[in-house]
Structure 1
């Protein structure tokens, strides 16, 4: 039984892939290590971009990258923004005098995932923004290494869109905040690399498998924006159903509840094995992603619950935190206001098991 956790996650991904992808899945048998696409350039699987098991990204048409705009003028029905359609962009509700938030989903995501649906709602309640949702639904519903490779194409398309908004609409990169969940966090990093000068990137539980401990150019890192913050919530080992990573990737990295097991979430391995045995596939997926999605929920709450701040202390480790061995003079707050605090490094905090997640005390 000791080996069961190592067998569990590949089985879950295989079942989920079969259920979600179906008969449309194809095996890429090309032996080339480079592919080029019009308008967005070439992509290689040579080191350091050999992290995706030598998979090359699909074309933008295959990945089906879509970008949509929400504003207070159109809070319900988004407008599609096409980087090639300058006239359409000029006729949209985009207004360069407003700050721009770009929301990017991760593996197996869609427009209904929390990072798109919940954060759009939260931001529209907070202030008047240009909210751009980046959907790459088909490209994310692939064998995981292929989805990892596809993130680079998604980023290249978004770079073209943001370049068009800057050059034709007067958008300032200093007004742009990229927010990505899971693989979306690394997409945000690629965008920042391709378009230097972006004000902020927030990585919501950046994906760990095939990306952690790689060259910084392959993943989210502090050089990708003027300020990079990351929230780690599901950093248990991959073989134990973890999708995140403990590796610091920002100027500020937050580790709520230690960054691994989140209170209120089920034990992924034991619970999900039981659900799989009973063919409860939807419940199994929900169990696996509970802690992974908590980063989004914590960030969303920081936007709408202004009465409570997710206060965090700078600390060497979770063990130091729970034993009151942190630097009590240096603190920050997880969430939307993290950029307002000067502290840099790794920060720890506790949350509640249910909403409201924010605790008014430090520990």
Structure 2
């Protein structure tokens, strides 16, 4: 049985890479480091924006307790909302299983941050830790990122551009609150 799985994973890893493009988001590849590696042997392209159905929940001073839904696919939702371009905009990123309408996200939205960007401390939980790392890699001078239980599966031993990495901010720390693997072997 082990030989079967070894051959299967080898063949999947050797398959030619593909690319998918979405109009407003750009192109995505399933080649290394995103797929075809020992850690990510399956080459899987991202789903379409329509299938994912991403939505942004907007809280402002005018609606601190009730969110307004913003859809990338429908600019009229932004025009009809309380969004104002002259204000600071913050994105709070939850983990893979969490949802954006949970109480901790709402509570965080109500907090007033008065630090300049160089003093911002990004805190990401689970998959959100790696998203914070991606944000840090695109934001020079970010002072600190804390990863809370960064998801290990599909990120361990991957290149820096795929995961939370010490180079994503001046200081990167990680707090592990459990020792059990996601899938015990």
Q: Which residue of 1 aligns with 2:46?
A: 57
Matched ranges for 1:163-174 at <5 A: 173-174=117-118
Q: Distance in 2 between matches of 1:120 and 1:72?
A: 13
**1:213-257 C-alpha deviation (Å, 9 max, x unpaired):** 21121111122234433321123334439xxxxxxxxxxxxxxxx
Find 2:106's aligned residue among 120, 123, 126: 120
Q: Distance in 2 between matches of 1:226 and 1:86?
A: 39
Unaligned runs of 5+ residues in structure 2 are: 1-14
Unaligned runs of 5+ residues in structure 1 are: 1-29, 131-171, 242-363
Structure 2 CA distance for partners of 1:45 and 1:240, relative to 1, 3 Å: same
**1:303-337 C-alpha deviation (Å, 9 max, x unpaired):** xxxxxxxxxxxxxxxxxxxxxxxxxxxxxxxxxxx
Q: Distance in 1 between matches of 2:81 and 2:143?
A: 26
Matched ranges for 1:1-363 at <5 A: 32-50=17-35, 51-52=39-40, 53-82=42-71, 85=75, 88=78, 92-94=82-84, 101-113=90-102, 117-122=103-108, 124=110, 127-128=111-112, 173-174=117-118, 178-198=122-142, 200-240=144-184
Structure 2 CA distance for partners of 1:91 and 1:65, relative to 1, 3 Å: closer
Are the aligned partners of 2:17 and 2:43 in contact in 1 as well (CA < 8 Å)?
no
Q: Distance in 1 between matches of 2:130 and 2:30?
A: 17
Q: Distance in 1 between matches of 2:53 and 2:173?
A: 28
Q: Distance in 1 between matches of 2:142 and 2:21?
A: 26
Q: Distance in 1 between matches of 2:147 and 2:86?
A: 24
Q: Distance in 1 between matches of 2:79 and 2:29?
A: 31
Structure 2 CA distance for partners of 1:202 and 1:83, relative to 1, 3 Å: farther
The 3-state SS of whatever aligns with 2:92 is: strand
Shift of 1:192: 3.0
Q: Which has the higher helix share?
A: 1
Shift of 1:66: 1.6
The 3-state SS of whatever aligns with 2:67 is: strand
Pairwise CA RMSD of aligned residues?
Answer: 3.6
The 3-state SS of whatever aligns with 1:62 is: helix
Structure 2 CA distance for partners of 1:112 and 1:79, relative to 1, 3 Å: closer
Structure 2 CA distance for partners of 1:82 and 1:238, relative to 1, 3 Å: closer
Structure 2 CA distance for partners of 1:69 and 1:200, relative to 1, 3 Å: farther
Number of equivalent positions: 165
Shift of 1:184: 1.8
Q: Distance in 1 between matches of 2:112 and 2:85?
A: 10
Please, what TM-score do these two structures have when normalized by structure 2? Answer: 0.67
